[in-house]
Every structure is written in structure tokens, then in C-alpha cells.
Amino acid sequence: MHAPNIETLPAAELRQLQEERLGILLTRLGESGSQWWTAKLAGVDLTRSSLQHIPSLPFTVKSEFRDAYPFGMLARPQTEVVRVHASSGTSGKPTIVAYTRSDIEVFAEVNARALACAGGSPDDVIHVAYGYGLFTGGLGIHYGAEKLGAVTVPASGGNAAFQIGLLADLGATGLACTPSFAMLLSERAADMGLLDRINLRWGMHGAEPWSEGFRSKLEQAWGESYDACDIYGLAEVIGPGVAAECREAKGGMHVFEDHFFPEIVDPETGEPVGEGDAGELVITTLTKEAQPVIRYRTGDITRLLPGGCVCGRTSRRISRIEGRVDDMLIIRGINVYPREIESILLSDEAVGGTYAIVVDRRGTLTELNARVEVAHPSLQDRKEEIRRRLETRLAETVRIRVGVEVRDVGTIPRPDMGKAKRVFFQDSEIDPVV
């Protein structure tokens, strides 16, 4: 545990700290002189800083970042900004996020906590294979690893063969990258005959959705002693480090609540959901200086989990992200999240860790198809049996027919860097999975 004095705070003390920080935030925003924040908080009683009043505050949505591009949402003078990061935007303009020096310190702190959740310690050599640059992943985890006191290897993305050599030669014990790239590295290490020379104990994997089935295959690929843990974050809030799984109780992610206050709301109405019900995650940044957000609608579907945690951390946990509001597929009137399909596909031991989902829109009715690979060449003669089994399970679970194509090992494209693309749309005779 990186910061036990904070991470084990009793609930009442944590709530008091949150309310103090919320009051400071609202006062600061009211006095910021920012035209954007003045308009945003018009009519809001900024003296009401009890947590029970948070639902009365206005939501923030991603389009506001685009409308205020590049620095319209600043709550501090631009002279206090020491860094910007960005995420891609649909309008051609990226989402710009600014940081003060204090924000960078918080960024490092929460990522150090996240890495410790996965099992990281100052004794580790941490191989960081997230992309560096404007993307928040690489530098966020990098500064977290240094804050933790570990040897930090800034490998960035791509060039898998070179990275395999570094993992073996430098004695990496922790791996931080997307789950799909972690799987690719394991495959390349096996192909190069170097898997036995790599002694990874844990991995911190995020930036793309992945199921329990994928976790099982990833842990098998790196060996029985490997713990693959999830990390959650988004650029509009701070980047990675908003929440993370601990290795002691996988399946839920600890929210670092002294910095980020979570709510779960109905995606359609915006009203709070019942305790333990799934809905859209909403985050308020309690300590962010340059560009805080109030009730930011993340678009991610999750739920708050009840009870404490065996690891001793007292912060609330959210379930692993179940899908995104805008990722939901509507197939012949049925709502389907791609992760539901992944969970079924990868829970089968005969299936490898790479797959593709194709939404075929060429006909009158949209068809849904999945492509998978056998887990090992010795299973190639059982493709038909695997196909029938998967199609039956999918029909029972997602309530529509999903056609399955079972392929040989290595025949579905793998990304050499960045996030893996899993869902493809087919509108012509050209195969979209290339």
C-alpha cells in the first residue's frame, strides 16, 4: 500500500475530507474570475458543500471541452499551467487537459497508489509500454512508477521484439500497457523463445475494455505467478489513476476518493440509480487545480460495490467497466455490449486471446459475427465443435444469433501499438478486419 494513512481512512474521516475539499473547490471556482466557470455555476449556491448536495450541481460533458477549446475551461491563470495532455476528438480538435505543478504531483501520487494495488513496490523494475506524448497513459504511469520508487523503463508502444529483449535483459517484474499489447508481448516472447527469461510478477492494464476471460488467458500466457490488474482513468478527469484493482480482490477497482468523488446515474435521466445498480459513472475532481470538472459524465457503465476489501483499503470500489453508453450495439432491437460477447468467447479454454466482432450491415437486417482463433494449433481439427459451442452460449446470453468463425492461430490481425480495435462494421464486400 503506497499511502496507508489515506487509503485506510475510516469512512467518516474520508467523508469529512471530501466535504472540506469540495468546499475549497467550489469557493475557488467562484472566485476564479473565469467566464466559463461563472456561466457554468450561475445560480448555484457555492456555500452548499455537503456531499449530499452534489447531485444539485450541473453535469459536465465532453462536448464542453470541444466548445471551450483550447483553454476556455481553465480555473487557474495559464501562467500556472506546466503541462497539457490531449485525447482524440471526433471534430478534428483534440480534448485539451491542463495541469498545474500540484496537478502533476497528484497525477504521480494516484498512479503510484494504483501500481501498489497491483503489487508494485520500490523493489520492482516496471516496464511502461503505454504510449508517451499527448496521451496520458505513458507519462501518468511513468511518474507513478518513479513516485513509487521503482526502476522505471520508458519503453512506450510498438516494436514488440525489441521490448521483449528489454523485458528479459532488464529483469522487469511489473508490466504496464494495454491488455491487448500485453497479450501480443507474451505471444512474441514465446515465439522468440524468451518467455522463460522473463519474470514478470504483475501487470497494470487499462485504456481499453477487457473481460475476466481475457484476464484468465493473459495470466496463463505470462505464468501462474502473474497478476493482471485493471486501472481506470480518462484524460478529462486526470488520466490513468482514477481507480485501480488490487491483486487481493480482483473484479472491483478502488476509487481514490480523496481526489475523485464518484456517482452512478441513469444514462438517460441523469438521476442517481439504486444502491448497487449499474449506470453511468460521474466524477467530480476534488483537488484538480488547472482544469477541474464537476460531475463529469464519463459515458462508462459500472456500479458501486458494497462492503469493504480484504486488502485493507477503505475507499469505495466500482465494478470493472461493463461497457460504454456510446459503444452499445443495437442489433435487431436488442442492446448488446461488445464486452458481453468477449466474456463468452474468451471464457472458452479452446479459444485464444485475439478476436474480432463484425457488425454486418450489408443486408436488410444487421447481422453480428465473431471471429476467434483456436488457443493452440493442436485444436485446429475441433473448429466446428468450438463454433457450435460458442454460438449456443452466445445465443443464450445475448439473446440474438451471433455467427462464429473459428480460425487458425495468428490469422486475426494484432495491433503493434495503441488500443486494440475489436469491433468492425462491414458495409461492402471489402473485409474490414485486415
Question: Cα(175)–Cα(153) distance, rounded to whole angstroms?
Answer: 10
If residue 339 lies in a helix (H) or strand (E), which one and from where to where?
helix 338-346
pLDDT given at position 90: 45
Q: C-alpha cell of 96? A: 485539451
pLDDT given at position 88: 63
Are 239 and 107 in contact, with CB atoms under 8 Å apart?
yes
Indicate the angle between helix axes 136-148 and 101-118, nearest 10 degrees.
70
Q: What 3-state class would DSSP assign to 140?
A: helix
* Answer CATH for 1-325 from 3.40.50.720, 3.40.710.10, 3.90.950.10, 3.40.50.12780: 3.40.50.12780
Q: Domain 329-426 belongs to what topology?
A: GMP Synthetase; Chain A, domain 3 (3.30.300)
Query: Please, which residues bridge with residue 406 across strands?
Result: 372
Average pLDDT for runs of 10 along the chain of length 434: 96 96 96 96 91 95 94 97 82 85 98 98 98 94 98 95 97 96 96 96 94 94 95 96 97 97 96 94 98 97 92 96 84 83 93 94 90 95 96 90 95 82 91 89
- Predicted TM-score of the model (pTM): 0.88
Q: C-alpha cell of 22? A: 469540495
pLDDT given at position 92: 63
Q: C-alpha cell of 25? A: 473547490
Within 13 Å and on the Cβ side, how many CA atoms surround 215? 21
Q: What are the domain boundaries of the chain?
A: 1-325, 329-426
**Other residues' Cβ atoms within 10 Å of the Cβ of residue 310:** 9
Tens of pLDDT, residues 48-107: 889 999 999 999 999 999 999 999 999 999 999 999 999 865 446 789 999 999 999 999
Are 143 and 117 in contact, with CB atoms under 8 Å apart?
no
The number of helices, as runs of H, and strands, as runs of E, in the chain is 11, 21
Q: Work out the end-to-end distance of the chain between its first and last CA atoms, rounded to an integer number of angstroms.
A: 43
Are 318 and 243 in contact, with CB atoms under 8 Å apart?
yes
Query: Please, which residues bridge with residue 262 across strands?
Result: 283
- Give, in degrees to the nearest 5, the angle at Cα 164 between 160 and 170: 135
